[in-house]
Amino acid sequence: MAGPTITTVSEMLALDEPLLLDSGQSLAGVQIAYEAYGSLSPAKDNAVLLCHATSGDQHVASPHPITGKPGWWDRMVGPGKPIDTTRFYVICANVLGGCMGSTGPSSPAPDGQPYAMRFPVITIRDMVRAQVALLEALGIEKLYAVVGGSMGGMQGLSLAANWPHIAERVLCIGGTATMPAQNIAFQEVGRQAIMADPDWQGGSYYNTGKTPAAGLGVARMAAHITYLSESSLTEKFGRRLQNRNSKTFGFEADFQIESYLRHQGLTFSERFDANSYLYITRAMSYFDLAEENLSKGGGGRLADAFADTNARFCVVSFDSDWLYPTELSRGLAHALNAAGAPVSFVELSAPFGHDSFLLEVPELDRVVAGFLGQ
Amino acid sequence: MNALRPDLALIAAHVSPGTRVLDVGCGDGTLLEALRDKRQCDARGMEIDSANVAACVAKGLSVIQGDAGADLAFYPDQSFDYAILSETLQTMMRPDLVLEELLRIGRHAFVSFPNFGHWRVRLSLLFGGKMPVTRLLPVAWYETPNIHHLTVADFQDLMRARGIKVEQAWFLSGDSQISAGAANFRAEHAIFVLGR
């Protein structure tokens, strides 16, 4: 594509101060790996923080270093794209607990050995603490916007609720303010698959030459189904067989969907740390902004969690997303409305299920560009 | 505000500057945009159609996709100075309940609707014997979104029965304002300001 090229900066930041976590523990020596696109204006008023989802990372619009594939939101972020890097300074950090450079269970503990299960259990708010520390280190006091889908959307909401004066705009796509039981259930299936793999070894598999790839693969296969929709599976795979003319009467991947899922599980295991998966999904299942507000001394009403923010909100859901269904986004929008926050909410029609936010949905492009344009 | 539909222009002209406004059934946000840009209002909207909501978001407006019949319940009491329902009343399942909701949420309500008592409608029914299809009611009976046709007199009766105060009313014929005399016969279009 002609036009200005995207400037990508890949950096690693070491925090000077330990992070005080929701669990009461403190985590010292935290490193944050992030990418930045575009340039920060002299007034520092054009910074957009992107927060990635469960299996994402900081490689938003640059090729992934392991898979070589384009960044996960390459279609959304870049010069002239809805999140226009000729206008905005776009920052995306690998979450705390992740495995792409930010401190997580695979990072060395003070004794030099990987934390493994000694890594403290973290929350979404802890992830945001790390994001806020990064912004402070970069000298950014205000965000033009915080943008995220799924777990990224939750981080945006947590930022608005807990650091109400940082973000001027919050765009939450396919997210929720409270993790519902069905999602906790699926996440538990994933974790149990990992922990049932003998190669998991109580989490201390680093340096053993073995990783719980099979368990992590199964976790990814199950999760991947929840990101899609029945109609998109039928459309893409139907009952078609994989490179064969008849069923084998065995347990090979006879069907295309089986082969596809196995491939998804396998490639995920090659790029993702199983313990990170445990910690990140745990953080998500703990996420409940209304409950957090109660523990802060508030009334436990979701609306009260947003009482102090002046941000504008845009909440987007997809009609085919059964994992984070529209009702979650609608409830969030009503709570924001009750809090007096300027909020827009729209349910977009797209066939791809929860993953719609990552895929070709032109209406989403217009909403994102429109919301950020004003 | 040249581009505004005549009833919307009247509403926009009578909303006090700097107030909080909720436009229920705000469409693509034309009125909201005018209220925000020309009257410096904190203007919010509710709209059922997702493409319209997306258009509103693209204009930088705060609009919630929702159904006035169900989702107005989530708005706190008296949280707006004005609640607006333009050209939407006759499409509601329970217009009376929506009107009560408007006045619970807003201190005042603007309501505009096409008058089914207009002489052209009456003549059409009297001589044609068929449901009228007119400039303001352009869709045939089987596909019209207008499920509760009403006349100016019907509306005034309802206001009296519910103890709702009519603070002001305007009537339109063609795109011009007319006097209130025989409005139920002469007006194509009515705009009411309501209060408690």
Smallest Cβ–Cβ distance between A343 and the set B54, B60, B62 belongs to: B62
Cβ pair B74:A338 closer than 8 A:
yes
Q: pLDDT tens digit string along B139-155?
A: 999 999 999 999 999 99
B107 Cα to chain A: minimum distance (Å): 16
Q: Which pLDDT belongs to residue B2? A: 53
CA gap A307, A340 in Å, rounded: 8
CA gap B184, B117 in Å, rounded: 6
CA gap A346, A348 in Å, rounded: 6
Numbers of helices and strands, H then E, in chain B: 8, 8
Q: Which CATH number fits domain B6-114+149-178+189-195: 3.40.50.150, 3.30.565.10, 3.30.200.20, 3.40.50.970?
A: 3.40.50.150
- Is the dihedral angle over the CA atoms A350, A353, A359, A363 positive or is it negative? positive
CA gap A175, A47 in Å, rounded: 22
Cβ pair A346:B74 closer than 8 A:
no
User: Which residues of B are less than 8 Å from A304 in CB distance?
Assistant: none
* Residue A368 pLDDT class (50, 70, 90 cuts): very high
If contacts are CB pairs under 8 Å, which of residues 90-119 in chain B contact chain A?
none
Does position A100 have pLDDT exceeding 90, yes or no? yes
Cβ pair A345:B65 closer than 8 A:
yes
Cβ pair B57:A371 closer than 8 A:
yes
Angle (CA) B102-B103-B107 rounded to 5° is: 115
| B54: closest chain A residue by CA | A367
CB of B62 within 8 Å of a chain A CB? The answer is yes
Mean pLDDT of chain A, nearest integer: 95
B186 Cα to chain A: minimum distance (Å): 40
A5-14, A79-88, A105-114: which has the minimum mean pLDDT?
A5-14
Most B CBs within 10 A among A147, A301, A345, hence the mutation to make, goes to: A345
Q: pLDDT tens digit string along A31-61?
A: 999 999 999 999 999 999 999 999 999 999 9
DSSP-assigned letter for residue B89: G
CA gap B115, A163 in Å, rounded: 51
| Domain extents in chain B | 6-114+149-178+189-195
Structure tokens of A128? 């945001």
Smallest Cβ–Cβ distance between A346 and the set B42, B44, B57 belongs to: B57
A157 Cα to chain B: minimum distance (Å): 17
DSSP codes joined into one string, B6-45: HHHHHHHHHSPTT-EEEEET-TTSHHHHHHHHHH--EEEE
Q: Kindly state the helix (H) or strand (E) to which residue B189 belongs, with its residue range.
A: strand B189-195
User: Which residues of B are less than 8 Å from A344 in CB distance?
Assistant: 53, 56-57, 61-64
Cβ pair A343:B64 closer than 8 A:
yes
| B61: closest chain A residue by CA | A344
Q: Which pLDDT belongs to residue A54? A: 97
CB of B172 within 8 Å of a chain A CB? The answer is no
* B188, B114 contact by CB (below 8 A): yes
At the second CATH level, the architecture of A184-281 is: Orthogonal Bundle (1.10)
* B141, B129 contact by CB (below 8 A): no
Q: Which pLDDT belongs to residue A374? A: 67
* Residue A6 pLDDT class (50, 70, 90 cuts): low
If contacts are CB pairs under 8 Å, which of residues 257-276 in chain A contact chain B?
none
CB of B77 within 8 Å of a chain A CB? The answer is no
Does position A1 have pLDDT exceeding 70, yes or no? no
Cβ pair A373:B60 closer than 8 A:
yes
Cβ pair A370:B60 closer than 8 A:
yes
User: Which residues of A are less than 8 Å from B61 in CB distance?
Assistant: 344
Q: Which pLDDT belongs to residue A2? A: 40
φ/ψ bin of A269: left (φ > 0), alpha (ψ from -120 to 50), beta (otherwise): alpha
Q: pLDDT tens digit string along A109-159?
A: 999 999 999 999 999 999 999 999 999 999 999 999 999 999 999 999 999
User: Which residues of B are less than 8 Å from A317 in CB distance?
Assistant: none
Q: What percent of chain A has pLDDT over 90?
A: 92
If contacts are CB pairs under 8 Å, which of residues 284-313 in chain A contact chain B?
312
Instruction: Please name the residues in contact with A236: beta carbons below 8 A apart, sequence gap of 6 or more.
Output: none
Do the first three CATH levels of A8-180+288-373 and A184-281 match, i.e. the same topology? no
Q: Kindly state the helix (H) or strand (E) to which residue A270 belongs, with its residue range.
A: helix A256-271
Q: Which residues of A carry out catalysis?
A: 150, 321, 354
CA gap B83, B45 in Å, rounded: 9
Cβ pair A367:B57 closer than 8 A:
yes
Q: pLDDT tens digit string along A155-210?
A: 999 999 999 999 999 999 999 999 999 999 999 999 999 999 999 999 999 999 99
CA gap B69, B115 in Å, rounded: 22
- Is the dihedral angle over the CA atoms A159, A160, A161, A163 positive or is it negative? positive
Q: pLDDT tens digit string along A57-79?
A: 999 999 999 999 999 999 999 99
Most A CBs within 10 A among B26, B47, B65, hence the mutation to make, goes to: B65
Q: pLDDT tens digit string along A293-351?
A: 887 777 778 999 999 999 999 999 999 999 999 999 999 999 998 888 999 999 999 99
Q: Which pLDDT belongs to residue B57? A: 92
Structure tokens of A239? 């009952």
Phi/psi of residue A238, each to 5°?
Answer: 50, -140
| pLDDT tens, per residue, chain B with 196 residues | 457 889 999 999 999 999 999 999 999 999 999 999 999 999 999 999 999 999 999 888 999 999 998 899 988 899 999 999 999 999 999 999 999 999 999 999 999 999 999 999 999 999 999 998 888 788 999 999 999 999 999 999 999 999 999 999 999 998 899 999 999 999 999 999 999 9
CA gap A149, A131 in Å, rounded: 16
Cβ count near A16 (within 10 Å): 11
Q: What is the mean pLDDT of residues A100-110?
A: 97
A346 Cα to chain B: minimum distance (Å): 5
| Domain extents in chain A | 8-180+288-373, 184-281
* A279, A97 contact by CB (below 8 A): yes
Report ipTM (2 d.p.). Answer: 0.86
Q: Which pLDDT belongs to residue A3? A: 44
* Burial A168-200, CB ≥16 within 10 A → b, else e: ebbbbbbbbbbbeeebeebbeebbebbbebebb
Q: Which pLDDT belongs to residue B33? A: 96
Name the CATH superfamily, with its identifier, for domain A8-180+288-373.
Answer: Alpha/Beta hydrolase fold, catalytic domain (3.40.50.1820)
CB of A87 within 8 Å of a chain B CB? The answer is no
Most B CBs within 10 A among A344, A347, A356, A372, hence the mutation to make, goes to: A344
